[in-house]
């Protein structure tokens, strides 16, 4: 008997959005280099760093998978969230033994994740893949694996950070999808996000983000937990977040992770039983962080002296 002939299934991946000319042009790069040659404010120095600091270390920082090895070498594996899957083939999600709650995200970008848990709003749904570069919290019954595969496929087709004139590091990260454990705060929801600003190995400021999927608030503090009259685009919490019991531990962790660079923002989560690493950001908001009042843009930049040349 002749074996039946099978026709291979060809899956067409979505095409990555083209990088605008202004992000590829050498002339535009030269103009930006010239405009940022004497940075004073924090946002100016972030743009200075994006254009000039092309060390491999920044690619490691940007890579959601590779940064885990870096953090483990510095702080140990105990501070890392558990990983359920890392793959460059979205269909691997189909056969993966995933828990009922988890976080799915791409390794080569920022500001995007799908959180799956029973605590999600009942009316929350996955967005269409082409609108999927967002945070979304959905219940397991509203996160069918087919939808997650299509979302992951769209993610892997995207170039985050645009071209070499902007957040260039993300373009050098291997495009994969990562499934991590869902971290849970004391109230059973998404935990507070502590973002520590580390300049030349010293933490000077701490940003606290609460309620990412509900009523998001954002507060800024000095390392001594003095509340700053600063808005970064979201309202303050009422009452203001109390000083965390593990603040000194978090500052020590952030300073160890930031010891090899002039600036990095270290994101951590203070859980009931441990402090867990989130991510490292070399280019917060792509150099467009809002400061209200604007005087804090200069105040944050005061602690940072970028080198004339990164080695």
Q: What confidence score (pLDDT) does residue 186 get?
A: 86
HEC letters along 44-61? HHHHHHHHHCCCHHHHHH
Would strands 275-281 and 263-270 be described as parallel, antiparallel, or unpaired? antiparallel
Residue pLDDT, tens place only, 203-238:
999 999 998 777 899 999 999 999 999 999 999 999
Q: Which domains does the chain have, with CATH numbers?
A: 35-55+185-304 (3.30.470), 82-182 (no CATH)
> Across the chain, what does the average pLDDT equal?
90
Residue 76, by phi and psi: left (phi above 0), alpha (psi -120 to 50) or beta?
Answer: left
Q: How far apart are CA 120 and CA 163, in angstroms?
A: 35
Short-list 37, 75, 48, CA closest to 263: 48
Looking at mean pLDDT, say which of 10-19, 86-95, 165-174 comes out highest: 86-95
d(CA 273, CA 180): 18
Strands of the 102-106 sheet, one edge to the other: 83-87, 177-180, 102-106, 113-116, 135-138
CB 15 within 8 A of CB 157: yes
């Amino acid at each position: 008997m002749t074996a039946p002939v099978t026709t291979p299934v060809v899956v067409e991946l979505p095409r990555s959005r083209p990088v605008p000319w202004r992000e590829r042009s050498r002339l535009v790069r030269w103009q930006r280099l010239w405009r940022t040659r004497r940075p004073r404010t924090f946002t100016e120095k972030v743009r200075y760093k994006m254009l000039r600091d092309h060390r491999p270390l920044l690619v490691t920082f940007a890579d959601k998978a590779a940064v885990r090895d870096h953090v483990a070498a510095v702080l140990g594996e105990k501070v890392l969230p558990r990983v359920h899957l890392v793959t460059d083939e979205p269909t691997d999600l189909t056969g993966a033994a995933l828990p009922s709650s988890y976080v799915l995200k791409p390794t080569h970008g920022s500001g995007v994740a799908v959180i799956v848990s029973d605590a999600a709003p009942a009316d929350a749904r996955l967005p269409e893949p082409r609108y999927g570069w967002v945070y979304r919290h959905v219940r397991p019954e509203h996160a069918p694996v087919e939808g997650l595969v299509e979302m992951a496929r769209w993610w892997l087709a995207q170039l985050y950070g645009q071209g070499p004139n902007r957040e260039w590091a993300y373009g050098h990260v291997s495009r994969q999808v990562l499934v991590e454990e869902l971290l849970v705060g004391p109230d059973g929801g998404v935990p507070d996000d502590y973002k520590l600003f580390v300049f030349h190995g010293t933490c000077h400021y701490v940003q606290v983000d609460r309620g990412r999927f509900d009523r998001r608030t954002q507060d800024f503090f000095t390392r001594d937990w003095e509340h700053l009259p600063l808005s970064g685009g979201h309202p303050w919490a009422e009452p203001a977040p109390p000083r965390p019991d593990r603040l000194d531990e978090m500052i020590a962790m952030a300073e160890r992770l930031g010891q090899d660079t002039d600036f990095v923002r270290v994101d951590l989560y203070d859980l009931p039983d441990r402090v867990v690493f989130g991510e490292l950001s070399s280019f917060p908001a792509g150099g467009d962080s809002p400061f209200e009042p604007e005087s804090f843009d200069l105040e944050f930049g005061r602690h940072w002296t970028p080198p004339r040349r990164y080695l």
